[in-house]
Structure 1
Amino acid sequence: MNYIMNSVTQVKNETDQTPVSTGLKAVILLLGIIMIATTLRSPITAVGPLVETIRNDTGMSHTLAGLLTTFPLLAFALISPLAPKMARKWGMERTLFAGIIIVTTGIILRFVPSLAALFAGTILLGIGIAVGNVLLPSLIKRDFPLRVGVMTGIYSVSMNVFAAVASGISIPVSRQLSSGWRGSLLMWGILSLAALIVWLPQLRYRHQERNARISSHGSVWGSGLAWQVTIVMGLQSFVFYSIVAWLPEMLTERGMNASTAGLMLSLMQLFSVPATFIVPILAARFKNQRGLVVATFLCFILGFVFLLAGSNALVSVTMILIGIGTGSAFGVVTMFFTLRTRHTHQAAELSGMAQSIGYLLAAIGPFLIGFVHDLTGGWIAAIGLLFLVAIIYMMAGWGAGSDRYIGEEHVKTSVN
């Protein structure tokens, strides 16, 4: 605890404004980051365990139900490149605040008893979450430059703990509420409202990044290394959101009840939590992160093997392996945004690019897995597709894990 509290006081004051207490400002900022992080996955992971209930209530096909997870990812893809531009125009603090408002609006809209409102709310919350996804890593790089690994770990843990809780309690809560699954989804608006309140003090500040000029090496979009990071981002998200969308139904088709299936998904995400905290710290200490990428790949492969085995007795082991894999993969790629860039502006640009193209790849996941299931009548081919995705992830991660900076790949090559 002392280590964490010492870390939060390392905030870099980049404006001429002088807060009452730098230490107090740091603590309030950290609380704001934590609260925003709690809203970045929970409204989406809450849907997975409820998919079968939603389908039965609305008559959706597997393919259409997959869009409940796919639409937020498409919103991530479209909005992510715009988030750095909005932050430069209005400031990170105000842009993040606007993002939380949009998330809250989307969550409320999903409560309206209409399929159109359900999908519209889903798209809206995806737009708001995209802003937080892109800007929080670069805000951490700006305000906690000496503790990037620890702060990234705290941010990741906050996000994944509540993602796990959302998966685990969605079914039980829906059964206790007269509004059913709609009320269960609405519940996550409590977190976004709390995030709005906690973030309010940050609106007094508008940081101006000093020396924030575009890298002389040009746009991140022309960097091969940036594209490797982008592929890693996309494929780890492909795996995570596909599992979140369809794992409960995979398990219920084997005879497991819906509540237990939701708890298994929650177990997966709970085991991702230690990885999301530890891996960023390790990544910050290593010159290259290739070993972490390979370890993540092995967790994925072993988890998919056990999932393919089809034994309910192995489900817990499967969830632990995939949970460690998804947590580690997210921790690694989030650190790539800071470890492969020279300054905050470039980190935001890389984050925007990786999350734009990356989530476009990820958006294919739930839809494609549902389509393959409908096409084949089972899950074997769909799990085989996850094997292929994991292999490509490892290949791209090997390149992204090398000790280089965006725009300076040729410099590293000539020196070595």
Structure 2
Amino acid sequence: MSVTRTQQALGVPVAPVRSKLAHPALLLTGIVLVALNMRACLAAVSPMVGEIQRTFGLSSTVSGLITTVPVLFQGLGAPLTPRLTRRFGAERVVLGAVLVLGAGVLLRVLPSVAALYLGCVVIGVAIAVLNVSMPGLVKREFPERAAAMTGVYSTTMLVGATLAAGSSVPLEHALGGGWRASLGAWSLLALVAAVAWLPQVLRARQERGALAGGPAGGLTGGVVQPAAKPIAGIWRIPLAWQISLFMGISSLMVYTLVAWMPTILADHGMSRDQSGLVFAFSNLVQVAGAFLVPLLAGRMTRQRGLAVLMAVLNGVGIAGLLIAPVSGAWVAAAVLGVAQGGSLGLGLAFIVLRTDSAAGAAQLGGMSQAVGYLIAAVGPVGAGALHQLTGGWTAVLVVLLVLAAVVAVAGWGAGRNRTL
């Protein structure tokens, strides 16, 4: 596209000359393939933990870190991302993060305990960068449909996780290389996503070249706009903390049940095969919640009722596990699936609905996901420790019920019709 210095100086809207690189189908394909990677390599490792434990002779506690470390480093890596996107551009940052993610997947399968955990760290940091970058990109590229597009990529993340969890063991048998071949194969998905995302990097380079020599700004729909300023004092704004707590405690409940729900059901007398099916069903229902709830959120000026509804559904599902863990397991799994998927989609939608620029969305995403994943990392370990201390799961489920009430309070604040 061509932009003259006079037009830039006067702030005159510029009609861009569209190139093939700017085609919406290319952008949507890139977003979907990147999103598929954002949970797949985490979900793929869960069925393999037992084999990894036997390979290296790890204790149960140490092997549990295989899933905890990436979550922890998603929280630690999130605040760095807005600086990276401001310096290098969101497109290049996403490309780099996808390539780093693929490298982390390969590092994790090397024949060394140190490489295993270092790979988990690299994967966590790469996912953190993608978690924070994507809401800003969606806000910038789809300003009128940001909530709906958030539903698309949050759904795609869960689809990727479901496919990875379900195909890890079949891949192990098909490839014949044990758990290393099965887990390492997911690096190919990262490579495919990187190739699909490359047109966005080239498009951004073309746009920067067209704007060379003009004042700092960005393009939205062909109009030159001033660069958005960062949100001042975001860590002191109550609304930002309400969104962060909604995401964080919701994620804590998700990761706690991801780690322990099948065990809770089995400890109450359900067969392990059936408990696994119930858990898989709950994950499948999450896909519907993650898609539909952001769509509803985008049609509302306030999302208070929707946020409280997700918290209530979480509470109902947890109460089902507490009162009737075997006879009511399928109903509890369905309710929890809607609540957990919906909470994920709504938390991501809050990032784009409560900000008025891509830079603001990236900044809020950095804060909310830093707080969120640091809180979430406590869940599985804390639940395990409480179970060991009390000898049962009642105390764990009661704590989760209390946390569902806290989520309702945070969601009531986060759902206000305000922007940062």
Aligned to 1:20: 19
Q: Give distance in 2, aligned partners of 1:288 and 1:277.
A: 18
* CA displacement 1:59-109 (0-9 Å, x = unmatched): 444433332222112211121111111011111111001100111011112
Q: Which residue of 1 aligns with 2:110?
A: 112
Q: Is the 8 A contact 2:310 2:342 kept in 1?
A: yes
How far residue 340 of structure 1 moved from its aligned partner, in angstroms, is 1.0
Q: Which runs of 5+ in 2 are unaligned?
A: 1-12, 208-216, 219-224
- Identity rate, percent: 38
| Cα distance between partner residues in 1 of 2:14 and 2:122 | 33
TM-score of the two chains, using structure 1 as the length reference: 0.87
User: How many residues are treated as equivalent by the alignment?
Assistant: 391
Q: CA deviation at 1:358?
A: 1.4
Match of 2:379 in 1: 365
Q: Determine helix, strand or coil for the equivalent of 2:79.
A: coil
Cα drift, residue 226 of structure 1 = 0.4
Supply the AA of the counterpart residue of 2:143: P
Q: RMSD across aligned C-alpha pairs, in angstroms?
A: 2.4
The answer for the alignment partner of 1:264 in structure 2 is 278
User: What is the rounded CA distance, in whole Å, between the counterparts of 1:247 and 1:53 in structure 2?
Assistant: 20
- 1:266 Cα deviation after fit: 2.6
Q: CA deviation at 1:351?
A: 0.6
Aligned residue for 1:330?
A: 344
Given candidates 140, 143, 168, the residue that maps to 1:142 is: 140
Q: What is the CA–CA distance in structure 2 between the aligned matches of 1:16 and 1:51, rounded to whole Å?
A: 54
Q: Secondary structure of 2:66's match?
A: helix
Higher mean C-alpha displacement, 160-169 vs 248-257? 248-257
Task: Name the CA shift for 1:248/1:119 in 2 (closer, same or farther; >3 Å).
Answer: farther
What letter is aligned with 2:301?
K
**What's the TM-score once normalised by structure 2's chain length?**
0.86
Map of 1:7 onto structure 2:
none
**Any residues of structure 2 matched to 1:145-156 within 5 Å, and which?**
145-156=143-154
Counterpart of 1:411 in structure 2 is none
Q: Which residue of 1 aligns with 2:355?
A: 341
- State the 1:190 CA deviation: 2.8
What do residues 280-302 of structure 1 show as CA deviations (whole Å, max 9, x unaligned)? 11111111111111211121112
Contact 1:237/1:362 (<8 A) preserved = yes
Q: Deviations over 1:294-337 (max 9, x none)?
A: 21112111211222246434332222111101111111111111
Partner Cα separation in structure 1 for residue 64 and residue 78 of structure 2: 21
Per-residue CA deviation, residues 126-178 of structure 1 (Å, 9 max, x unaligned), is 11111110011110110111211221111111111111222233344445554
Q: What do the CA deviations read for 1:3-40 (whole angstroms, capped 9, x no partner)?
A: xxxxxxxxxxx999744247x62110110000000011
Gaps in structure 1 of 5+ consecutive residues:
1-13, 407-416
Moved more, 145-154 or 65-74: 65-74
Letter in 1 for 2:19: V
Q: Give 2:70's match in structure 1, choosing from 72, 75, 78.
A: 72
CA distance in 2, matches of 1:51, 1:38: 21
Structure whose alpha-carbon radius of gyration is higher:
2
Q: 1:354 and 2:368 equivalent?
A: yes
Residue type matched to 1:185 in 2? Answer: L
Change (3 A) 1:347 1:205: same
State the shift of 1:53 in Å.
4.3
Question: Could you tell me how far 1:52 is from its partner in structure 2?
Answer: 4.1
Alignment of 1:12-91 (within 5 A): 18-21=17-20, 25-91=23-89
Quote how far apart the aligned CAs of 1:187 are: 3.0
Residue 253 of structure 1 and its aligned partner are, at CA, apart by 4.3
1:165 aligns with 2:180: no
The residue type equivalent to 2:151 in the other structure is G
* 1:47 aligned partner, one-letter code: V
Instruction: Tell me the residue number matched to 2:226.
Output: 211
Alignment-derived partner of residue 234 in structure 1: 248
Distance 2:186 2:263 in 1: 22
User: How big is the shift at 1:192?
Assistant: 1.2
Match of 1:298 among 307, 312, 316: 312
Work out the CA distance in 2 between the residues paired with 1:139 and 1:122. 26
Q: In the alignment, is the contact (CA less than 8 A) between 2:29 and 2:196 conserved in 1? A: yes
The AA in structure 1 aligned to 2:37 is: T
Distance 2:98 2:28 in 1: 16
Counterpart Cα distance in 2 of 1:196 and 1:260: 38
CA distance in 2, matches of 1:54, 1:112: 12
Task: Kindly state the Cα deviation for residue 400 of structure 1 after the two structures are TM-superposed.
Answer: 0.8
Distance 1:56 1:306, change over 3 A: farther
Letter in 2 for 1:25: H
Aligned residues of 1:67 and 1:367 also touching (Cα < 8 A): no
Is the contact between residue 107 and residue 185 of structure 1 (CA under 8 Å) also seen in structure 2? yes
Query: 2 CA distance for matches of 1:15 and 1:141?
Result: 21
Distance 2:275 2:98 in 1: 30
Distance (Å, rounded) in 2 between the aligned partners of 1:105 and 1:323: 32
* Equivalent residue letter for 1:304: I
1:389 is paired with a residue of what secondary structure? helix
